[in-house]
Amino acid sequence: MTLVGHPFPTVEACRAAAPRIASDWLKDHPALVRDALACTPAADLPALPVRQVADGVHVHLGPVAQFEDSPDGWIANLGFVIGPDSIAVIDAGASRAQGQALFAAIRRISDKPISHLVITHMHPDHAFGAEVFREAGAAILGHERLADALQGRGRTYLDNLTRLYGPGPMIGTRVVLPDKAVGGSLDIDLGGRVLSLTAAPPAHSDNDLTVLDRATGTLFAGDLVFRDLTPIVDGSLPGWLDWMAVPQDAGAIVPGHGPVAQNWDEAVSAQRDFLTALHRATREALDAGLPMSEGVPAIVDALAPLAGRWKSFPESVARDATAAFKELEWE
């Protein structure tokens, strides 16, 4: 574990305080025991690769893969914005380990305080590194429905990832709840640099939150935008189509997965085609009176021509067909 919330002027000062800090931390993490203890300059910690996509806006691009095709779940795009006084982090990664690696990446670039962590939605690849940033002093912000979603599903997500990757990659990872709930919109200030947070109606999930950096126009869309990785519907398919129908006034758009887009159309056009086709095929299956057992395979068949444009297509499209069938059945 890297205990990040304690900057020291010297390694000696760190060594003097480290045993007490470690004991205090372990009291709050009773499943873990101390083996060894070391003080390390932040610049020497293993860090995620990041790139600057606009002035003061840094992004880690995750590999385009689903959990099942990843060794550690480090699949989401993560980012941070450096203001005059402080730093805001957008999404924390899949585990404490990834949160620590993101923290180290930030510290290689800036030693300003980390004032905010914004979690774009409940999914573990975005949310599960959060405790690192709470320990670093950040306030955690999320959609007004995020806390309920994490309370309902967090334990299951954590168990599933631990089963998938083993306990090593997930060690020390805990589900933490936001300190502040955002309904509608909220501006946060990094010392004259303002980020505008906007809560979306149910779409990719029921707790999607976007972050717009007013200084550069960069929009962190979370999983409201998938590029190259097959979109997953876990909120509302019609709601997601509605969200995409209103272009955001943004410059670069950082999706939750896949490469940064330079404009709205580049960001959403392929996803719009996919979700529109999913909606149409689901309507047709329902209009034909098919039961779910026949409707889902029919929807999957109808979407097969799109497979070449998307990674992890077969697994994800079957999930999407099931979700869409269940949702539209009740329309």
**Chain positions contacting Zn ion, by CB under 5 A:** 123, 223
Sheet architecture: strand order including 253-257 = 185-189, 194-199, 209-213, 218-226, 253-257
- At its nearest, how many Å lie between Zn ion and the CB of residue 299? 21
Contact 102, 108 (CB under 8 A): no
- At its nearest, how many Å lie between Zn ion and the CB of residue 204? 6
- Closer by beta carbon to Zn ion, 116 or else 123: 123
Contact 76, 124 (CB under 8 A): no
- At its nearest, how many Å lie between Zn ion and the CB of residue 91? 10
Q: Which residues contact 212 (CB under 8 A, 6 or more apart)?
A: 195, 196, 197, 198, 218, 219, 220, 248, 250
Q: Which residues contact 30 (CB under 8 A, 6 or more apart)?
A: none
> How many alpha carbons lie under 13 Å from residue 16 in its C-beta half-sphere?
7
- Closer by beta carbon to Zn ion, 135 or else 320: 320
- Closer by beta carbon to Zn ion, 58 or else 123: 123
- At its nearest, how many Å lie between Zn ion and the CB of residue 256? 6
Buried b (16+ CB within 10 A) or exposed e, 286-321: beeebeeeebbebbbebbeebeeebbbbeebbeebb
- Closer by beta carbon to Zn ion, 125 or else 135: 125
- At its nearest, how many Å lie between Zn ion and the CB of residue 110? 28
- Closer by beta carbon to Zn ion, 256 or else 295: 256
Q: What is the DSSP letter of 116?
A: E
- At its nearest, how many Å lie between Zn ion and the CB of residue 122? 8
Measured between alpha carbons, how far is 242 from 256 in angstroms, rounded to an integer? 18
Contact 222, 208 (CB under 8 A): yes
- Closer by beta carbon to Zn ion, 122 or else 328: 122
- At its nearest, how many Å lie between Zn ion and the CB of residue 205? 6
Task: Calculate Rg over the CA atoms of the chain.
Answer: 21
- Closer by beta carbon to Zn ion, 127 or else 170: 127
